[in-house]
Structure 1
Amino acid sequence: MSSASGHKPALPALTLAALGIVYGDIGTSPLYTLKECFSAHTHLTPTVANVTGILSLIFWSIIVVVTLKYISFVLRADNKGEGGILTLAALAGRKLEGLPRSLVLVLGLLGAGLFFGEVVITPAISVLSAVEGLEVVAPELDAYVLPLALGVLIALFLIQKSGTAKVGAFFGPIMGLWFLTLGALGVLGISKQPAVLQAVNPMLGLSFLADHGWASLLALGSVVLALTGAEALYADMGHFGRKPIRYAWFSLVLPALLLNYFGQGAHLLSNPEAVENPFFHLAPDWATMPLVALATAATVIASQAVISGVFSLTRQAIQQGLLSRLTIQHTSDHEIGQIYIPGVNWALLGSVIIVVLAFQNSSALAAAYGIAVTGTMIITSILSCTVAHRQWGWPLAVAVALLSALLVIDVPFFVANVLKLFSGGWLPLVIGLVMFVIMSTWRRGRELLFQRLQEQALPLDSFIENLETYPPTRVQGTAVFLNSATLGVPHALLHNLKHNKVLHERIVLMTVQNIDEPYVKTENRVQVTRLSNSFWQVVARYGFKEVPNVPEILDLCAGQGLEFEPMDTSFFLSRETLISTDRPGMARWREKLFVLQSKNALRATDFFQIPANRVVEMGTQVEL
C-alpha cells in the first residue's frame, strides 16, 4: 500500500485489509460455482462419481491456477511493487522492439479490455447470487430478489465518491467473518460425509473428464467460476504488497474455500435435492437468513474490489496514453492509490443495471461469466513467461516449458467457456472488443497527431538562437508553454508570436513525460535546463499511478534555480482542432472515433491542475 506519508501499516492490518479488497471476488465464488456445475445446461446429476469428480477439478484448479500460478509465480512480476495486466505488458515489452513489442502491447490491450468486460458482470452475478438466498428461506420472496439486488448495487456505486479508505476499513473484518463462516459450514458438511475428502485425488477429476468426453467441457465452463477474482491478486498488489496477499491466502482464504466446496459436495451426496442451491442448503435452517445478510455484504465487498480495480486500471491507461483524459479525484490525504473516477463509476452503474435487468438471475449471468476471466488468464501466462525470460534471465527452454504447462490448463478452460458464447458469453467479449478498439484508437491517434505536429514543427535550437539575436518586443512576466516533445517549438509559442507580435521576458518550455513505473521520487521529478538568456526547459516525469500537477512542478523548479511568481506567470496551451482526412495513417472511422474522444477528453487545464485564470489557449487546426 503506497502511502504519501511513508508510513507502512503492520502486516496484520495489511492482511486484514487484503481480505476486504483482494479476496472479495474469489471469496464469494462458492455462492454459485457448484450450483452451476450441476445446473440444467451441464446435464449432470449429483452422483458420487460426478460430485467427487467435480470437486477434484475445483480443488486442483485452485491449487494449480491460483496458488502455484498467481500466488507463487505471477506475483513476482511487479513493477516497483505494482501489478496488473498493463503493468505486466509494460514489463514484458521492455527490451523488445518492432513486431514483438507491438504484439505485447496488443496482448496488454486485449487483457485490459477483457478486464473491463469482467467488471460489468462481477457485481451483477455476485449480488444476485447472494440475494437469491431469500428463495431458500421462503420461495414466495422470489419477486423481491431483483429489486433488492438493484437497490444494493445502486447504493454501492453511490458510496464510491466517499473513497475506498472508509469503505475498506469496514470491509476487512466482514470478509474475515465471511471466510470463517465458509470454513465452519464446510466442516459441518464434511463431518456428515467424510468420504468426500477422497476428491483430493486428481485421478477422480481426470476420470470424470475421460468418462464424459466433450460434455465435460460444459462442466469445466462452470468449474472456472471458482477461479474468478484470481487476477485481482495481481492487480491489487500495489495496494498491499506481495506478503500480505500471500499470508491471507494461505492462512485463511484457501482453507476456507476448500472446506466450503467439500462441505457443499458432502451435503449433495446426502441430499441430492439441494442441488438447486447447495451453498445456502448447507446451512442450518435457523442460520439461512443471517447467512443471506452476510453473503450480501460479502458480495458488495466483492463488487467493491473490482470497482477499485477498474479505477486503478483506468488511471494507468490514461497515464500510458491508452485512454483520453478523465476527471480523477483523490479520496485520501494519505494513500496515493485511493482514487475515484466519476465518469467510469456512472458508466459502470448504468452497464450493471442493464445487465441485471437483461439476465434476471445469477444462473443466466454465469453463462456470460468466464470467457473474460479465462481469456485474461491466457494473456497473463504469455506475458508473465515473457517477463521471466526477458527480465529475469530464465533460459528460453524453461520459460517455454512453463508456458506450455500453464496453457495446458488455461486453454481448455477458455474453450469450455467459448461453448457458452451464444448463451451470454458474447457480452464480455463485446465489451472487451469495444474497450480494445477505444484504447488502440486513442494510442494510434495520439501517435498520428504527434507525427502531424512534428511535420510542422521548427527546430528548437535555431529558433531560440534567432529570437535571441533578433528579439521581438518583450513584455514583463513569465510564459510557460506546455509541449508534448522536448525538441520542437510549441505551436502555442509560434501562434503567440504570429498574432500578438510579442514575447515574455522569460520563456519556459514544459514537457510532462509519463514513464512505465508506478511512482517517481520527488528528487527525480523535475529536470531544469537553461537553453539561453531567456529560455528555460523543464521536463517533469510522472509514473502511471500518479496524476500530473503543474503547481507542484513549479515549486520543485525553485530548488534548481528557476523560481516563479504565480501572479506574474501565464500558461499557454495549444488546443488542436482535429479534422479527419484521407491521408494515410488510420481508417476514416477510427479517425472520427479519435476526434470524438479528443472532444470529450478532460481539458488539459484541469488534468494538469493549472490555475484556470492564468491560462491562454491558442487554437491550431490539424489534418489527420
Structure 2
Amino acid sequence: MSEDIGNGDDVGTRTRALVLGAIGVVYGDIGTSPLYTIKQTFGVHGAPPTTTNVLGVLSLVFWSLILVVSVKYAGFIMRADNKGEGGIMALTALAQRSVRSSQRARWWIVVLGLFGAALFFGDGVITPAISVLGAVEGMEVLAPGLAHWVVPLAALIIVGLFAFQNRGTGKVGAVFAPVMILWFLALATLGIWHVAQHPAVLRALSPYYAIEFFAQARWTAFFTLGTVILAITGAEALYADMGHFGQKPIRWSWFGFVLPALVLNYFGQGALLIADPKAAENPLFLMVPPVLLVPMIVLATAAAVIASQAVISGAFSVTREAIQLGFLPRMQVRHTSHEQMGQIYLPWINRMLLVLTLAVVVGFRSSDNLGAAYGIAVVGTMTIDSILVMIVFRRMWNWSRARVALVGILFLFVDLAFLTANADKVEHGGWFPLVLGTVIFTLMATWRRGRELVVREIKHGGLALEPFISSIVAHPPLRVPGTAVFLTANQEGVPHALLHNLKHNKVLHERNVMLTVETVDTPIAENDERVGVEPLGDDFYRVTLRFGFAEDPDVPNMLETVTNCGQPFDMMDTTFFLSRESIVATDRPGMALWRDKLFAFMQRNAIPATAFFQIPGNRLIELGTQVEI
C-alpha cells in the first residue's frame, strides 16, 4: 500500500512540476500581451476610449481568449499530436502522412507547412522586439524625459539575451516559473484592484457588448480586431510545447491560472480607461501605484526576456526539425544540456535572429509601430494550423464531413476575420513578416527542390547496383581487410565514391555497405523501423538507418547496434566514403537559374553530412563529384 501511495505522490509531484514549468515557458508570449494590446487598441491611432468601445473591446478580447486559445488550441488542435510532439512542422508531417495516396495534396500541405514555419521565424524576430520594447516603455510613465533611452536600452537587453543563448536555457530555466508566476499574480492583483473600483466592467463578459460595439462602430470595430489579435499571440505555444510538458499540465496551467490572470488584468485596464480615458497612452503601467512602478518595470522586462527566450528556443527546435525533414541545409547544432535532448543552440540561426531583431527595434522604435507586423505573423500561422488540423481530422481520424465542416467553419471564420482586419496594416509594418516569410519560404522550397534535382541527376547518371555486384563476382578485384561504408541517397545505384575508389585505388574492402540515412515523419523513430538490412551477395549490403525529425542522427552509434550485417561493426576497422557534390547551375528544366545559383550557394555553406551524422573525420574519405541541375 505504501509503495502505491509513494508512486502516486511521485506522479503528483511530477505533474505539479510540469504545470509550473508550463507557466514559466509556454505562456511567456501570451503572458506579456497585456503590455501592448489595450494600449494599441485605444492608443493614438486606435478607437476612442468611450465606455461602449471599452466594453466592446474587452468582450472581444475575452471571447478571443475563449474561442481561439481555450477551444481551438487547448480543446482541439492539441489532440493532433505527432507521437506526443506538436508545432507547425510536426503538424505538417502528420497531415502529409494522412494523404500519402495523393501527391498533389502532399505538395499543397508542404507549401502550407513551409509558409507557416516561415511565419514562425518572423514571430521569433518580432516577439523579442515588441516584448522588450513594451516593457522598457514603462520608463516613459516613470519619467517622460527617459523616452529617448527606450530604444538603446531595449537593444542592449536583446544583445545580452542572444549572447546568452550558447549557454543554454537550462541555466536560467530554474527562474522562469517563479518569475512568470510572480508576473501573472501581479497582473491579476492589479486587475482585481481596478475592477473592484468599477465592477460594472464585468458586463463585458457577455458577447452582447462585442455585438453592440460592431453595431455602433462598424468599420472601426472591425479593424479593431487587428489589435485584439495581440491578446492571443503565443496561443500556438500551447501546441508547440506539448512535447515538453504534455497536454494535461498545459491545459491545467491555462485554465487554472494563466487565463484568469489575463482576463482580470484586461478588465482592470478597461476599468481604468472608463475612469480615465487619458490612461490609454499606457494603461498597464498607469494601473500601477507610483511607489511600485520601478519594480513593475523590472518584472515586466524579466517577463519579456522569458517570453523572448521561449520563442528563440522554439526557432532552434523548428530549424532542427526542418533540417531533418529536408527543408533546410545542414547547420551546426550544439547541445547545451547533457540531460535534456531538446535544449539546443544553432549559432547561425542565433546570429540571424539577433541581426533581424535589432533591425526591427531600430526600424520600428516602439511597440505601437510593431503591432501591425506582429498581428499578421500570428494570424497567418493560426490560419495555416486550422487548415492542416482539419486535414488530420478528416483523413487520419475519419471524422465525418459535417463534423469537420462545423469545426472548420468556426476556426476559419475567426481566423479570416482577424486576417482581414489586419489587411489595412500591411503598409504600416505588416509587410515585414510577409517579406521575411516569403524569403524564408523561398529558401526552404529551393533547398527541398534542389535536393530532389540532385538525387534525380545522381540516379540518372549512375550504374545499377545489382548488375555491378554481379560483375564484381565474375571479375573480382583485390579485396582488402575492413569495412567500407558508402553514404548514398540512391539505394538502387552504385555510389560514385565506390566507383572512384575502385577506379583509382584498384581495391575493394572485404565488406561493403551502401548506407542511406532517412528521416521519418514522426519525432522519434520506432525501434522496429530504425534499421533495415538487405544482403546483396558477395559481402555487399544495403543498410537503411532511420531517425525521427526531433532526433540527432548518430550514424556510428547506430551502426554498432546492427547485428544482421555479417560481422558486428567495429568503428576502428570501418572507413566511411562520401561523394561531396559540387553543384553547377544550368538552364536545365527544374528550377529557374537564380534558384539553381541560390541552391548551389546554400549547398556550399551547409556543414558536411559527415559532421551532421557525427562521423569521425579520421575514419572518412571524401571524393568530389560534379552535378549539373
- Which band: TM-score by shorter chain? over 0.9
Q: Cα deviations across residues 69-88 of structure 1 (Å, max 9, x unaligned)? A: 00000000110000111111
Quote the offset at 1:537 in angstroms: 2.4
Residue 176 of structure 1 is matched in structure 2 by 181
Quote the offset at 1:401 in angstroms: 2.1
Counterpart check, 1:21 vs 2:21: no
1:121-520 residue pairs with structure 2 within 5 A?
121-520=126-525
Counterpart check, 1:568 vs 2:541: no
Q: Cα deviations across residues 322-359 of structure 1 (Å, max 9, x unaligned)? A: 00000011112121111111110111011111111111
Q: Cα deviations across residues 550-587 of structure 1 (Å, max 9, x unaligned)? A: 22122212476542333322110001111111211111
- TM-score, length of structure 1 as denominator length: 0.97
**Contact 1:526 / 1:556 at 8 angstroms: preserved in 2?**
no
Counterpart check, 1:32 vs 2:47: no
**Contact 1:23 / 1:229 at 8 angstroms: preserved in 2?**
yes
- AA aligned to 1:520 is A
Distance 1:295 1:101, change over 3 A: same
Q: Distance in 2 between matches of 1:542 and 1:274?
A: 55
Distance 1:286 1:486, change over 3 A: same
Q: Distance in 2 between matches of 1:463 and 1:20?
A: 59
Distance 1:523 1:382, change over 3 A: closer
Matched pairs, number: 617
Residue 119 of structure 1 is matched in structure 2 by 124
Q: Distance in 1 between matches of 2:361 and 2:93?
A: 35
3-state SS in 1 of match to 2:546: strand
3-state SS in 2 of match to 1:576: strand
- AA aligned to 1:518 is P
3-state SS in 2 of match to 1:577: strand
1:72 equivalent among 48, 71, 75: 75
**Contact 2:534 / 2:543 at 8 angstroms: preserved in 1?**
yes
1:517-536 residue pairs with structure 2 within 5 A?
517-522=522-527, 524-536=529-541
Distance 1:559 1:99, change over 3 A: closer
Residue 46 of structure 1 is matched in structure 2 by 49
3-state SS in 1 of match to 2:215: helix
Q: Distance in 1 between matches of 2:542 and 2:103?
A: 31
Q: Distance in 2 between matches of 1:326 and 1:205?
A: 48
Residue 584 of structure 1 is matched in structure 2 by 589
Residue 83 of structure 1 is matched in structure 2 by 86
- AA aligned to 2:91 is L
- AA aligned to 2:24 is G
Quote the offset at 1:148 in angstroms: 1.4
3-state SS in 2 of match to 1:503: strand
Q: Distance in 2 between matches of 1:145 and 1:41?
A: 21
Q: Distance in 2 between matches of 1:537 and 1:94?
A: 25
Q: Distance in 2 between matches of 1:53 and 1:266?
A: 13
Q: Distance in 2 between matches of 1:216 and 1:294?
A: 33
Counterpart check, 1:603 vs 2:611: no
- AA aligned to 1:491 is H
Q: Distance in 2 between matches of 1:614 and 1:98?
A: 40
Q: CA RMSD in A?
A: 1.4
Q: Cα deviations across residues 581-612 of structure 1 (Å, max 9, x unaligned)? A: 12111111111111111011111121111111
Quote the offset at 1:621 in angstroms: 1.0
| Deviation beyond 6 Å, 4+ runs, structure 1 | none
Q: Distance in 1 between matches of 2:464 and 2:379?
A: 50
Q: Cα deviations across residues 468-496 of structure 1 (Å, max 9, x unaligned)? A: 22111222221111111322221111121
- TM-score, length of structure 2 as denominator length: 0.96
Q: Distance in 2 between matches of 1:123 and 1:562?
A: 53
2:106 equivalent among 101, 110, 114: 101
Quote the offset at 1:521 in angstroms: 4.1
Residue 4 of structure 1 is matched in structure 2 by none
Counterpart check, 1:59 vs 2:50: no
Name the stretch that deviates more: 305-314 or 497-506. 497-506
Percent identity reads 54
Residue 3 of structure 1 is matched in structure 2 by none
- AA aligned to 2:36 is Y
Counterpart check, 1:549 vs 2:554: yes
Residue 4 of structure 2 is matched in structure 1 by none
Q: Cα deviations across residues 103-161 of structure 1 (Å, max 9, x unaligned)? A: 11111111111111121111000001001101111112222222211111111111111
Q: Distance in 1 between matches of 2:242 and 2:566?
A: 39
Q: Cα deviations across residues 147-188 of structure 1 (Å, max 9, x unaligned)? A: 211111111111111112222222111111111111111101
Q: Cα deviations across residues 291-326 of structure 1 (Å, max 9, x unaligned)? A: 000000000000011101111100110010000000
**Contact 2:553 / 2:614 at 8 angstroms: preserved in 1?**
yes
Q: Cα deviations across residues 34-64 of structure 1 (Å, max 9, x unaligned)? A: 000012222x221110110110000001100
3-state SS in 2 of match to 1:512: strand
Q: Distance in 2 between matches of 1:34 and 1:391?
A: 40
- AA aligned to 1:402 is V
**Contact 1:372 / 1:429 at 8 angstroms: preserved in 2?**
yes
Quote the offset at 1:92 in angstroms: 1.4
Q: Distance in 2 between matches of 1:454 and 1:222?
A: 52
Quote the offset at 1:267 in angstroms: 1.0
2:115 equivalent among 107, 110, 118: 110
**Contact 2:535 / 2:565 at 8 angstroms: preserved in 1?**
no
**Contact 1:368 / 1:425 at 8 angstroms: preserved in 2?**
yes
- AA aligned to 1:427 is F
Q: Distance in 1 between matches of 2:26 and 2:216?
A: 37
Q: Which runs of 5+ in 2 are unaligned?
A: 1-9
Q: Distance in 2 between matches of 1:481 and 1:496?
A: 11
